[in-house]
């Protein structure tokens, strides 16, 4: 994996050209969901509108523990895209919640620059902010992860499920441009996914589940349980390939 040093903290907070960027790296593969195994790079932006207790990217949003000016310095999107290698064909824009920036000129410019380089843009989102208008963006795929109980979703202030937004992503899923992704630890959480899917009329083929785990032993132990549980509902299953590759 290649992780270049980001430029020093910029003072320009002009969202015409700059976004808060936590990290940019490439020479990796997508570890989860329908694009598992695809060679890609990642652009991780700053800030999130949710505060999930088990979040593993708290450095993008948690001001109580991190100096966000340091962990997510304002960076010109042109600089971000220009450092990506010419061979790259897919970039995952992650965060935090990247769609917080969807209305900024800088976010639009970043998508345009990626498209000019013939790089597919994939966006990972918590599903609380509407996708960009169809036909008006260069986003190839949305990976949508609504937060259920295991991620603090039982707290209505943290959950923030927005039915109209979920419906917009469902529309994209029907067109093959989005998938719903759930990280689950056990059968009970698969049942919760099923309840959510029924509530929002999600097709099973749009849903991907994968084991919750912070180490590969737990991951591999849970994988058979998750496969059996998911298959009973017709859901897709993926592993978390990045964890296996890193042998955490």
Binding stretches for ligand SF4 (CB under 6 A): 48, 50-52, 55, 57, 95-97, 126, 147, 151
Question: What is the Cα 29 distance to its own chain's centre?
Answer: 14
Nearer to ligand SF4, 51 or 200 (CB): 51
Q: Which is nearer to ligand SF4, 109 or 126 (CB)?
A: 126
Distance CA 123, CA 161 (A): 18
- Based on CB atoms, which residue is closest to ligand SF4, 49 or 186? 49
- Give the residues across from 142 on adjacent strands: 123, 178
Least Å distance, CB 212 to ligand SF4, is 12
Complex with ligand SF4: residue 17 or 22, whichever CB lies closer: 22
CB of 44 to ligand SF4, least distance (A): 10
Q: Pick between residue 17 and residue 124 the one whose CB is nearest to ligand SF4.
A: 124
Q: How far apart are CA 241 and CA 38, in angstroms?
A: 11
Neighbour tally for 65: CB within 10 Å: 10
- Nearest approach, Cβ of residue 52 and ligand SF4 (Å): 3
**Could you tell me where the beta strands, DSSP code E, fall in 55-102?**
74-76, 90-94
Buried b (16+ CB within 10 A) or exposed e, 18-44: bbbbbbbbbebebbbbbbbebebbbbb
Q: Closest distance between ligand SF4 and the C-beta of residue 115, in Å? A: 25
Angle at which helices 216-231 and 187-199 pack, to 10 degrees?
50
Rounded to a whole number of angstroms, the minimum distance from the CB of residue 16 to ligand SF4 is: 25
């Amino acid at each position: 994996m290649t992780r270049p040093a980001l430029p020093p903290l910029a003072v320009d907070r002009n969202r015409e050209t700059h976004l808060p960027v936590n990290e940019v790296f490439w020479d990796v593969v997508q570890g989860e969901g329908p694009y598992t195994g695809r060679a890609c790079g990642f652009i991780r932006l700053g800030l999130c509108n949710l505060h999930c207790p088990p979040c593993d990217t708290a450095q993008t949003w948690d001001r109580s523990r991190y100096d966000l000016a340091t962990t997510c310095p304002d960076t010109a999107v042109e600089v971000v895209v220009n450092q990506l290698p010419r061979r790259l064909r897919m970039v995952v824009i992650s965060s935090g919640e990247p769609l917080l920036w969807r209305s900024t000129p800088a976010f639009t410019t970043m998508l345009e620059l990626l498209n000019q380089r013939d790089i597919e843009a994939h966006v990972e989102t918590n599903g609380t902010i509407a996708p960009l208008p169809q036909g008006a963006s260069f986003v190839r795929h949305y990976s949508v992860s609504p937060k259920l109980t295991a991620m603090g979703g039982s707290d209505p202030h943290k959950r923030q499920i927005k039915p109209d937004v979920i419906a917009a992503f469902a529309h994209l899923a029907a067109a093959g441009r989005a998938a719903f992704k759930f990280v689950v630890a056990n059968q009970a959480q698969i049942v919760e996914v099923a309840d959510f899917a029924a509530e929002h009329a999600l097709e099973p083929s749009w849903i991907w589940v994968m084991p919750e785990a912070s180490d590969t032993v737990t991951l591999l132990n849970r994988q058979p349980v998750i496969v059996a549980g998911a298959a009973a509902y017709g859901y897709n299953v993926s592993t978390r390939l990045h964890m296996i590759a890193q042998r955490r």
